[in-house]
């Protein structure tokens, strides 16, 4: 009998997902989620309740949307998901009793307080595993894609998706890596629909700004989402302003051009803002908050990079990439989630 060296067996085990036999009808796969918790979940679960929009997107893009029996109402991309049964506005408001009635094999929720710990404990006590993901940056998106490629036995599709996203991400990182500190555009980020709340260096927004070649003017402020005075913003004189538009400020699944234009005009008309370089040069941009999660996150990065350094990204068309993602993974036409799309020099 041919003997296989132990080192090759060990390497094979390390590279494969951890799967353990449950009974004659199913298997479990061990997954370490974004919260860093190792959870045994069913391989190819037939009934999934998803409370995390980015995960719902990826499951759909992997061709397994039929497995999702219910979603939170914030899972709006692609719009086909709106036909699924609703389980609450978001994970924080999820109806746990209704989830239990659906008898799911797996529940996917957001990290931290966005899904109450007591709700998770209630589900686990009933034998329902819970995975947690927030997915606010590409470095959390990529592992999540890999996890669900393994869970759903769609590793080849997941690998292709990861390579596609990573290709554009690397393009941004490679072109902005050598930008000197004094050549980085000063950026003021308006957080979650507020003019006077921003993002410090403790936030994922800061990481996105820096990777795209910008300098976050609020990086040294205390707290992840610090409150600032408008006079302070005027004094800082940012070269670019980015406003994150929440779903509460538009009527449809995504904002209309008119809704975004109106918000941009409001920002540019704030008292004293006519003194700011970003306003003088028209470099005030409105972004649907949903662009900061899921597959569109890489498009978000491309827009940021082009807004901050148009000279380095003249050959890049973020809109075309966004349309390609819509068509490639969702079989749908694109919608506008950024305004204006034209880049100011």
Burial of 126 (0-12, 13-18, 19+ CB in 10 A): exposed
Distance CA 302, CA 285 (A): 13
Do the Cβ atoms of 53 and 74 come closer than 8 Å? Answer: yes
pLDDT at 15: 44
**Closest to 128 measured CA to CA, from 146, 95, 102:** 102
**The pair of three-digit structure tokens given for residue 248, joined into one six-digit string:** 């509460």
pLDDT at 335: 74
pLDDT at 2: 36
Q: Please give the radius of gyration of the chain, using alpha carbons only, rounded to the nearest integer.
A: 22
pLDDT digits (tens, 9 = 90+) for 54-86: 999 999 999 999 999 999 999 988 989 999 999
For residue 187, give the H/E element and its range: strand 185-190
What are the angstrom distances between the C-alpha of 225 and each of 19, 145, 205?
A: 40, 28, 10
In DSSP notation, 112-123 reads: GGGS-HHHHHHH
**The pair of three-digit structure tokens given for residue 239, joined into one six-digit string:** 């070269």
Instruction: Using 70 as the pLDDT threshold, list the residues of the chain that sit under it.
Output: 1-26, 344-345
pLDDT at 14: 43
pLDDT digits (tens, 9 = 90+) for 41-55: 999 999 999 999 999
Of 3.40.50.620, 3.40.50.11440, 3.40.50.1980, 3.30.70.360, which CATH number belongs to 23-153? 3.40.50.1980
Mapping DSSP to helix (H, G, I), strand (E, B) and coil, where does residue 19 land? strand
CA 48 to the chain's CA centroid: 20
Give CATH for domain 178-339.
3.40.50.1980
pLDDT at 26: 67
User: What are the domain boundaries of the chain?
Assistant: 23-153, 178-339
The answer to whether domain 23-153 and domain 178-339 are alike in fold is yes
- Look up tokens 């978001």; give the residue: 90
pLDDT at 92: 87
pLDDT digits (tens, 9 = 90+) for 106-118: 999 999 999 999 9
């Amino acid at each position: 009998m041919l003997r296989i060296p132990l080192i090759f067996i060990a390497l094979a085990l390390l590279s494969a997902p951890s799967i353990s036999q449950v009974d004659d009808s199913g298997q479990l796969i061990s997954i370490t989620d974004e919260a860093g918790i190792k959870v045994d979940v069913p391989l190819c679960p037939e009934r999934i309740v998803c409370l995390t929009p980015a995960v719902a997107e990826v499951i759909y893009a992997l061709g397994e949307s039929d497995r999702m029996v219910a979603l939170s109402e914030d899972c709006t991309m692609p719009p086909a998901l709106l036909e699924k049964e609703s389980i609450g506005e978001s994970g924080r408001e999820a109806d746990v009793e209704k989830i239990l009635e659906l008898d799911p094999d797996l529940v996917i929720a957001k990290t931290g307080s966005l899904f109450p710990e007591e709700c998770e404990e209630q589900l686990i006590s009933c034998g329902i595993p819970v995975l947690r993901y927030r997915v606010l940056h590409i470095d959390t998106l990529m592992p999540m894609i890999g996890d669900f490629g393994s869970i759903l036995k769609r590793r080849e599709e997941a690998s292709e998706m990861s390579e596609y996203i990573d290709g554009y991400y690397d393009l941004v990182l490679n072109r902005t890596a050598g930008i000197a500190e004094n050549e980085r555009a000063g950026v003021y980020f308006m957080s979650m629909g507020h003019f006077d709340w921003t993002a410090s260096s403790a936030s994922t927004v800061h990481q996105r700004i820096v990777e795209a070649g910008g300098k976050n003017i609020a990086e040294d402020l205390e707290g992840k989402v610090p409150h600032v005075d408008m006079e302070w913003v005027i004094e800082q004189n940012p070269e670019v302003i980015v406003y994150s538009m929440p779903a509460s400020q538009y009527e449809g699944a995504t904002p209309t051009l008119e809704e975004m234009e109106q918000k941009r005009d409001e920002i540019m008309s704030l008292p004293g803002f006519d003194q700011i370089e970003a306003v003088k040069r028209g470099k005030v941009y409105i972004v649907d908050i949903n662009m900061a999660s899921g597959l569109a996150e890489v498009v978000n990065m491309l827009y940021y990079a082009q807004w901050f350094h148009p000279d380095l990204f003249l050959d890049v068309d973020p809109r075309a990439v966004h349309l390609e993602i819509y068509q490639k993974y969702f079989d749908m036409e694109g919608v506008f989630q950024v305004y204006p799309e034209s880049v100011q020099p």
